[in-house]
Amino acid sequence: MADNNTNNPKNTNEVSDPGRRSFVKNTGIAVGGVAGGALLGGLFTSRSKNNNNANSTADKGTAKEKRYEEARMYFTRMADFAILEQAVERIFPEDDNGPGAIELGVPYYIDKQLAGPYGSNVGDYRQGPFKGPKTSAADSSLDRGQIFINGLRAMDMESQKRFDTNFIKATEDQQLEIMTDFADDKVEVKGITSKAFFALLRSTTLEGAYCDPLYGGNRDMKGWKMKEYPVAIASYANMIEEDKFIKMDQVSLTDYQPK
């Protein structure tokens, strides 16, 4: 449909450059009729029309809204989950760019993933013997959920050993020191190398920061906003040839998929 405005970049904008140069000015571009309008028309419902201003809809009232998904599906011990929260925030911290892993919902995202088929390696080849180096999470005889439990508890034990305190009570620098040693494969974890556990922790943290919000991470699309990533835009045909950077509002699957 020709009035499908999700294609239209904002006419003008100033893009703040995180952490670096102050501002980059973008000249606006006017977008003509949607290329392949008839084609797009067949595919999109009116839902996408409502999304012209994804920013404002998403930002509105999030602070007050009750989040029913903030309960644990996988982790049984609160203590394990608390370590997870600290760890993912160290990997993807809050800063001038915007929210960190906790505010983005990453810990709950990971909890949900581990409660589902991914956590129990349903799609993987699981026949033994599990021989050879445990270089990746999949090479371990533990499933991903167990790897998280063993890994997080090993981080806590390491903190007790080195700093005589729980991981969550350790200072940020102490936490970083432990995590660096995990990443460098210097710590023992049962059933897996600390490096492979850390790689899993890192990759799931990034997933939680940038996945579609339908999974419980990337709350209010704030991960995407930081990266200026517009996501489910129906067509870029009108702007793909532009020299200038064009900033657009984000479109999530909730707004994109036909209903």
Partner 1 sequence: MVKTLEKVDVVVVGSGWAGGIAAAELTKKGYKVVGLERGKAQKRDDFVGSKDELRYDVRKLMFQELNKETLTIRNTLDETATPNRSNDTNAINGTATGGSGVHWNGMVYRWLPTDFEIRTKTVEKYGEEIIPKDMQLQDWGIKYDELEKYYDQFEKTGGISGEPDPLRPGQRSDDYPTPPMKETDIIRTFTKAAKDLGYHPYRIASANISETYTNPDGETINACVYCAFCESFGCDFGAKADPIATVLATANKTGNYELRNNSYAVRIVHENGKAVGIKYVDTETGDEFIQPADLVVVAGFTFTNTRLMLLSEIGKPYNPKNGTGVIGSHLTAHQRNLTHTRVRGFFDEKKFNRYAGTGALGVTMDDFNVEQLDHTKLDFLHGFCLRTSQRGDRPITNNHVPAGVPSWGKEFKDKSIFYANRRIDVQQQNGALAWRENYMDLDLTYTDMFGDPLLRVTSKFHDQDRNIVRYAHQRGKELLEQMGADYITVPEITDETEFDKTSLSDHTGGGVIMGDNPETSAVNNYSQVWDMDNLFVVGASSFPLMGSSNPTATVGALAYRAAEGMIKFLEDGGGQLVKKEESAKA
Interactions with partner 1, residue window 48-87 (CB under 8 A): none
Burial environment of residue 49 by CB neighbours within 10 A (0 to 12, 13 to 18, 19 or more): middle
* Residues paired with 231 in a beta bridge: 251
Site string for partner 1, 84-123 (x = CB under 8 A): ------xxxx-xxx--x-----------------x--xxx
* Residues paired with 25 in a beta bridge: 14
DSSP 8-state secondary structure symbol assigned to residue 224: H
Provide, rounded to whole angstroms, the least separation between the CB of residue 61 and partner 1.
25
Q: Does 2 bind partner 1 (CB under 8 A)?
A: no
Provide, rounded to whole angstroms, the least separation between the CB of residue 82 and partner 1.
20
Provide, rounded to whole angstroms, the least separation between the CB of residue 160 and partner 1.
23
Give CA separation, 129 vs 119, 125, 140, 141, 200, in Å: 20, 11, 10, 9, 22
Query: Site for partner 1 (CB under 8 A): which residue of 35, 115, 149, 168?
Result: 35
Distance, in Å, from the CA atom of 122 to the CA atom of 138, rounded to the nearest integer, reads 11
Nearer to partner 1, 40 or 189 (CB): 40
In one-letter notation, the amino acid at residue 29 is I
Provide, rounded to whole angstroms, the least separation between the CB of residue 162 and partner 1.
19
| CB distance 90 to 84 below 8 Å | no
Distance, in Å, from the CA atom of 43 to the CA atom of 233, rounded to the nearest integer, reads 12
Q: Interaction with partner 1 in 124-183: which residues (CB under 8 A)?
A: 124-127, 129, 131-132, 135-139, 176, 179, 183
Provide, rounded to whole angstroms, the least separation between the CB of residue 57 and partner 1.
19
Q: Which stretch binds partner 1 (CB under 8 A): 56-64, 67-75, 153-161, 237-245?
A: 237-245
Provide, rounded to whole angstroms, the least separation between the CB of residue 138 and partner 1.
3
Site string for partner 1, 206-235 (x = CB under 8 A): xx-xxxx-xx-------xx-xxxxxxxxxx
* Residues paired with 24 in a beta bridge: 15
Angle between the N-to-C axes of helices 144-163 and 106-115, in degrees from 0 to 180, rounded to the nearest 10 = 130
